[in-house]
Amino acid sequence: MPPRPPRRDDPVRQRSLRDHNLALVLRHVTAANRPPSRAEIAAASGLTRATVSTIVDELIAGGLVAELEPVSRSGVGRPGTGIVPAGTGPAGLGMEVNVDYLAVCAVDLTGAVRHRQVRRLDQREHSPAQTWQALAELADQALAAVAALGLTPAGGMIAVPGLVEGDMIRIAPNLGWQQVPLPRPGDLGGLRELPLEVANEATLAALGERHATGLRSFLYVSGEIGIGGGIVLDGELFGGSHGWAGEIGHVTIDPQGPDCHCGSRGCLEQYAGEEAIRAAAGLPGRDTAKLEQHAAAGEPAVLAALDAAGSALGVALSSAVNLLDITTVVLGGHYADLIGWLSPALEREFARRVITSDWSPVRVRPSALGADAAMVGAARAVVQGILDDPARFLAARA
């Protein structure tokens, strides 16, 4: 996960002042709507023009930013040249292990996806070692593609549908994994040369959405067989004490409800997960049509099942809004495609259950990144580490 932002009890001294200003200038460049000049960066950041120029030169030398056109100092009153994030520079590798597919992508410093590959593969039939082996093959292809683009891989982040603590995947129920460590370097092909981390897929998807949409505070809910969640508040991921926050799939809907694979009863997954919706709709196990195809055909049992799922989702999200005071909900995974059928029930529950809904209504929107959110978010997390602390990245390259 990205390093924490500086805290108020960190002493500010000369060296950290330069590090701070490197990050500040790089942030102004990457966040700008159009390429800012050095003078504009100075005006926006409050730094002096001399400081900005020194810092920009250092960022150019380190390959993190570039100048749009050659500097010409002869013309008077000309606009300054624009500074942009470097198109050839570091790239973050995002990887996703999910129940029925593996995926790898690469994202550059601008947040653009430069490489993307998805492979259908059911992990439930394989051991974790076999999964890592298959993932390493995809990652090697991504590394070759990244090199061909003139980018330098800076690190990798693996998204998994489970709870992670440090390098340990504590539990990934829908994969059937418990206490699975990050792969050893020998299992990883070309990845072994890179700093590698693992994190929860919905948390990373929320990070991806945050950067793709510019939304600063939202609950991200990913509906698949399991239901994952991620929380973004004031532009930052909210991880809780251990990074496990957001497990909305295991909010209780009915204390006496059906057993859940997590060991509890009446969890949201048992009402609004894909298998629960299919069961409620009476769709046979061999049915491969997407839920939205059945819904679009107007099948009454499917529409009723989606309304019931939306209602359960609305109950859980209302509790979450009451607890967290975050009033934008982003629906990802298959929920993004089902939003039209889920929304009426969602809005009904919000109006009834969110105590602030009269003056602060809950907004619901579909995911911008769709099924790619977790892997793009994972790659973006790597890039974010560089944006947050460019001094460390430059020192490692020096």
348 binds a second copy (CB under 8 A): no
CB 299 within 8 A of CB 337: no
13 binds a second copy (CB under 8 A): yes
279 binds a second copy (CB under 8 A): no
Encoding tokens for residue 271?
A: 């009402």
Q: Closest CB to a second copy among 4 and 120?
A: 4
Per-position x/- string for 291-320, each x denoting binding to a second copy as judged by CB under 8 A, each - no binding: --------------------xx--xx-xxx
Other C-beta atoms lying within 10 Å of the C-beta of residue 194: 17
Q: Closest CB to a second copy among 47 and 105?
A: 47
Encoding tokens for residue 284?
A: 């046979």
CB of residue 147 to a second copy, shortest distance in Å: 32
324 binds a second copy (CB under 8 A): yes
The stretch near a second copy (CB under 8 A) out of 151-159, 190-198, 324-332, 376-384 is 324-332
Q: How many residues does this entry show for the chain?
A: 398
Strand order in the sheet with 363-366: 236-237, 227-233, 218-223, 328-333, 363-366
CB of residue 322 to a second copy, shortest distance in Å: 4
Q: Closest CB to a second copy among 155 and 230?
A: 230
Q: Which of 33, 34, 46, 286 binds a second copy (CB under 8 A)?
A: 46
22 DSSP β-pair partners: none
Per-position x/- string for 178-217, each x denoting binding to a second copy as judged by CB under 8 A, each - no binding: ---------------------------------------x
Place of tokens 């019931």: 308
Q: Closest CB to a second copy among 24 and 93?
A: 24
Encoding tokens for residue 189?
A: 């092909």
d(CA 17, CA 21): 6
Q: Which of 284, 298, 359, 398 binds a second copy (CB under 8 A)?
A: 359
The stretch near a second copy (CB under 8 A) out of 21-29, 56-64, 76-84, 149-157 is 21-29
CB 183 within 8 A of CB 137: no
CB 271 within 8 A of CB 308: yes
Q: Is 61 helix (H, G, I), strand (E, B) or coil?
A: helix
CB of residue 135 to a second copy, shortest distance in Å: 25
Q: Closest CB to a second copy among 28 and 115?
A: 28
Q: Closest CB to a second copy among 12 and 112?
A: 12
Contacts 24+ apart (CB under 8 A), 210-215: 210/235, 210/237, 211/111, 211/377, 211/380, 211/384, 212/111, 212/368, 212/369, 212/373, 212/376, 213/330, 213/368, 215/328, 215/330
Place of tokens 């492979």: 119
The stretch near a second copy (CB under 8 A) out of 55-63, 113-121, 146-154, 232-240 is 232-240
Angle at 380 between CA 379 and CA 381, to 5 degrees: 90
CB of residue 202 to a second copy, shortest distance in Å: 12
The residues binding a second copy (CB under 8 A) are: 5-9, 11-13, 17, 20-21, 23-24, 27, 45-47, 163, 165, 170-171, 217, 229, 231, 233-234, 239-248, 250-255, 262-265, 311-312, 315-316, 318-320, 322-327, 352-353, 355-356, 359-360, 388
